[in-house]
Amino acid sequence: MLLLPDDYLTAPIDDGAGGPAWWFVFSGDRLLVDCRDGAVKLPFGTRAPCVLDAPLHLGRRAGVACYAAALPNDAPLADGLRLESLRRLWGQLDAGLIGIAGQALQVLTWDREHHFCGACGTPTQPVAHERARRCPACGVTAYPRISPAMMVRVTRGDEILLARAARFAPGFFSVLAGFVDPGESLEQCLRREVHEEVGLEVKNLRYFDSQSWPFPHSLMLAFSAEWAAGEITIDGVEIVEAGWFRREAMPDMPSSMSIARRLIDDWLRAG
């Protein structure tokens, strides 16, 4: 799964870092990797792996600078360099570097989408010593934003509630999830989403863990809860199947890169 690395980044606006650096170069949501010696590695060195326009300094990982950059459309790639989906790189790159790659992708997406002021349309300018872009005409300042989303594991005795969203493959189930609406607390969001998606009431909400999910800029906040009342009722549009599952009869589930799977595995181990 995509992690905020334990060796978290420091000095995020220190543009004069110098020395060898990790290079997080993206084309869309695909990351540039070095495969020249048969292993998949992140580009590392004192020079960028290709011609780049204005790399963004993310900070330092264990004292080593980390840069994010968008690959120009016409930039040639040296032999042995290729672009890979960030999801496919899970398990091939160090987990800490994967976590920073997720941060890099979110920062690059924000920077690209805020080159013009949302209030008056004037081209914005980067703010020194701060991750922000400011409009020189009207003064509106844009900061990177995240979209908080709750995820909840609902249990009833020795059963777990799992659902299949319309976008899932047949036979694939996961825990419930949904974005927080303006004005809601996380607990209100959780209760609303469970009621809207499967018609149930829940109790004994407990925070579990969180996970950055850069597709494109979510923060997943995971909870556990217990069934309180109601029978499963789905709308057939967003959720097309839902049911109670026992440990000995589990369906296809999310991959280990997601916090949804951690929620499920935590419950499986408890049995």
Instruction: Give yes or no: residues 31 and 140 share one domain.
Output: no
Instruction: Find how far residue 241's CA is from the centre of its chain.
Output: 25
More confident residue, 215 or 23: 23
Q: Does any domain span residue 237?
A: yes
Domain that holds residue 36: 21-113
What is the pLDDT confidence band of residue 95, given thresholds at 50, 70 and 90?
A: confident
Query: Mean pLDDT, to the nearest integer, of 56-66?
Result: 90
Token pair 């469970």 is found at: 194
Q: What is the CATH number of the domain that holds 101?
A: 3.90.79.20
Among 126, 144, 162, which residue terminates a domain? 144
Per-residue model confidence (pLDDT) at position 6: 58
* Lowest-confidence segment of 1-10, 107-116, 230-239 by average pLDDT: 1-10
Residue 1 has pLDDT above 50, yes or no: no
* DSSP assignment letter at 87: T
Among 59, 90, 113, which residue terminates a domain? 113
Instruction: Give yes or no: residues 159 and 242 share one domain.
Output: yes
Query: Mean pLDDT, to the nearest integer, of 29-40?
Result: 90
Per-residue model confidence (pLDDT) at position 7: 61
Question: For the chain, what is the domain count?
Answer: 3
pTM recorded for the entire structure: 0.85
User: What share of the chain has pLDDT > 90, as a percent?
Assistant: 71
Q: What is the pLDDT of residues 96-143, one digit of tens each?
A: 899 899 999 999 999 999 999 999 999 999 998 899 999 999 999 999
Instruction: Give yes or no: residues 91 and 61 share one domain.
Output: yes
What is the pLDDT confidence band of residue 13, given thresholds at 50, 70 and 90?
A: low
Q: Does any domain span residue 64?
A: yes
Q: Does any domain span residue 173?
A: yes
Q: How far apart are the first and last CA of the chain?
A: 23
Pairing of strands 159-165, 239-245: antiparallel
Residue 3 has pLDDT above 70, yes or no: no
Per-residue model confidence (pLDDT) at position 73: 82
Per-residue model confidence (pLDDT) at position 128: 87
Instruction: Give yes or no: residues 34 and 130 share one domain.
Output: no
Query: Mean pLDDT, to the nearest integer, of 5-34?
Result: 80
Instruction: Give yes or no: residues 152 and 233 share one domain.
Output: yes
Paired with 210 in beta bridges are 221
Instruction: Give yes or no: residues 224 and 260 share one domain.
Output: yes
More confident residue, 76 or 243: 243
Instruction: Give yes or no: residues 136 and 172 share one domain.
Output: no
Instruction: Give yes or no: residues 85 and 32 share one domain.
Output: yes
Q: Does any domain span residue 191?
A: yes
What is the pLDDT confidence band of residue 76, given thresholds at 50, 70 and 90?
A: confident
Q: Helix, strand, coil: what percent of the chain each, to 5? A: 15, 35, 45
Residue 223 has pLDDT above 70, yes or no: yes
Residue 5 has pLDDT above 70, yes or no: no
Instruction: Give yes or no: residues 45 and 102 share one domain.
Output: yes
Instruction: Give yes or no: residues 140 and 206 share one domain.
Output: no
SS3 146: coil
Instruction: Give yes or no: residues 118 and 108 share one domain.
Output: no
